[in-house]
Amino acid sequence: NAGVTQTPKFRVLKTGQSMTLLCAQDMNHEYMYWYRQDPGMGLRLIHYSVGEGTTAKGEVPDGYNVSRLKKQNFLLGLESAAPSQTSVYFCASVRSGSSYNEQFFGPGTRLTVL
């Protein structure tokens, strides 16, 4: 049981390049999330999904797109990277049901946009 994994762990992009971050979970969780964490800002929700085939915007969705084609995977795309998207990106998942359920986080992807 690997929990939540993220690919890649590190990436450096040039402004305008595109990339996709992959999040995978093997816990059969319904809900998945993408957050970004910046110094002094805490974690902020980008997009989330409450089930396969469904996605919704979070607090800071601009410049990002997501897809949840398979229950175990949640992809985060940057179509045209900007320096403001330099951040640490965390994926998380939670079993549906009570709001007391623990969210499990992946190890993070450190992205630098030059």
Partner 1 sequence: RKEVEQDPGPFNVPEGATVAFNCTYSNSASQSFFWYRQDCRKEPKLLMSVYSSGNEDGRFTAQLNRASQYISLLIRDSKLSDSATYLCVVIDSGYALNFGKGTSLLVTP
Q: Which residues bind partner 1 (CB under 8 A)?
A: 31, 33, 40-45, 48, 50, 58-59, 90, 94, 96, 99-103, 105-108
Residue number with CB closer to partner 1 (48 or 64): 48
103, two tokens = 């969210």
Q: Which token pair is 2?
A: 């690997």
**Minimum distance from CB of 42 to partner 1 (Å)?**
4
Task: Tell me how far, at minimum, the Cβ of 80 lies from partner 1, in Å.
Answer: 26
| DSSP conformational letter for 101 | S
> Which residue from 45, 33, 29 is spatially nearest to 101, judged by alpha carbons?
29
For residues 48 and 81, which CB has a smaller minimum distance to partner 1 in the complex?
Answer: 48
Q: Where are the beta strands (DSSP E) in 1-114?
A: 4-7, 10-13, 19-25, 31-38, 42-51, 54-57, 65-67, 73-78, 87-94, 104-105, 109-113
**Residue (17 or 71) nearer to partner 1, CB:** 71
Q: Closest separation between CB of residue 47 and partner 1, Å?
A: 10
